[in-house]
């Protein structure tokens, strides 16, 4: 369920542009930014790029992910 929220026109324009680039809705982009910000405040020792990449990775479909195989356990050696 959504709740209408007033935001600055400049922020809305930035969210619209970023949402288009990242194939999200404008609301989804603002929610993503809020989640990144909240996670950054909860984890001040983590770099913002790491937080962003972690949240994106967690949202990916596990069925399409490449499984991690340790270097010493690869069959190509």
Tell me: the pLDDT tens digits for 4-41?
889 999 999 999 999 999 999 999 999 999 999 999 99
Average pLDDT score over residue span 65-77: 76
The answer to whether residue 38 is domain-embedded is yes
The answer to whether residue 47 is domain-embedded is yes
The answer to whether residue 69 is domain-embedded is no
Closest CA to 18 of 37, 39, 33: 33
Number of domains in the chain: 1
The answer to whether residue 68 is domain-embedded is no
Q: Nearest 5°: CA angle at 36, between 1 and 49?
A: 150
The answer to whether residue 66 is domain-embedded is no
**21-43 exposure pattern, b = at least 16 Cβ within 10 A, e = fewer:** eeeeebeebbebeeebeebeeee
The answer to whether residue 17 is domain-embedded is no
Measured CA to CA, the distance from residue 43 to residue 34 in angstroms comes to: 14
The answer to whether residue 35 is domain-embedded is yes
The answer to whether residue 51 is domain-embedded is yes
* pTM, rounded to two decimals: 0.71
High-pLDDT (> 70) share of the chain, %: 95
Q: How many CB atoms lie within 10 A of CB 69?
A: 10
Domain limits for position 37? 27-59
């Amino acid at each position: 369920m959504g709740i209408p929220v007033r935001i600055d026109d400049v922020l809305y324009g930035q969210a619209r542009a970023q949402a288009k680039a990242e194939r999200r809705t404008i609301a989804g982009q603002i929610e993503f930014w809020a989640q990144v910000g909240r996670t950054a405040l909860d984890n001040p020792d983590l770099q913002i790029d790491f937080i962003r990449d972690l949240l994106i990775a967690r949202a990916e479909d596990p069925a399409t992910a490449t499984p991690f195989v340790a270097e010493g356990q690869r069959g190509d050696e």
